[in-house]
A and B are shown apart, each in its own frame.
Chain A
């Protein structure tokens, strides 16, 4: 079980690191997906090893996958809209509103 948790923790913090350092909206979105996937691994591992008699963790990760897919769809739609408005998706161009 520890090995799975090590993997998920690394994924989580790689995701956070990527979210904070990437300067492209799509790369940021992928980093967030890493975070969400590490959460799914966590739920499944806890359920499989700690509470094998029940299904709550499995179901939670199923729902989390579905909902994160919906979120990603909306995020990509918004990113496409940004691309249409200014022809690229670099974060440094999203600076019209500051402070």
Chain B
């Protein structure tokens, strides 16, 4: 068996794949956080809970309505996005004129409510969610065995990230978003309904989190706490990347995911803290983050 730096090659490739998968979720979630933060100046602590809600929506659709994976990929983000729209209209929008820390505290409270309710209803244990038939099984790539669903997640998340980036960089709606991020009042003075844009943006960000949740359901088990531990890592990712750049958030997500995977191969004891260590180093060397601007 071939080895690389004394590590069997299949083990190395396997961990890189796991790193890519984790990185896909870091990228998807930090992308949504960055989009919301850019316009609303709110750090959405409920992002992890919305990811969990997306996974649960898929689980419930399947088990109570017989609706499978593919429709859930569309429906779950719509449902969670709709909930987010209501939250923005009734609660978050009252906080825009005061210290952004209150937005963080509000969404933290909402995250606790969602997680607590789902734990109360479904218990803390994870629930299995089978990948769709078209994506089950695996293929032998010669140098490693690739479960098809995992390959799909990497490709799908890349497509979603690039799609979101194109939406923001190349469309009229994206131009409104970018302009409003710079100067919301002026954009509204041009006749754009900025309050509605804020609502939509929050809904979009939450929908992205939910979409990530559906993608994650067959890989990690569906559990009420699946989002809260993830979101803290994503916060570290966001601190490393800086929230000034959408592309920066995406790239940082994938890179840190792979680095975490590699750490698992070479020094497994440190794999759960490596991202935080990288965050600390970045703070020492470049406090604004790799892609951030000093504010």
Binding partners A and B: no
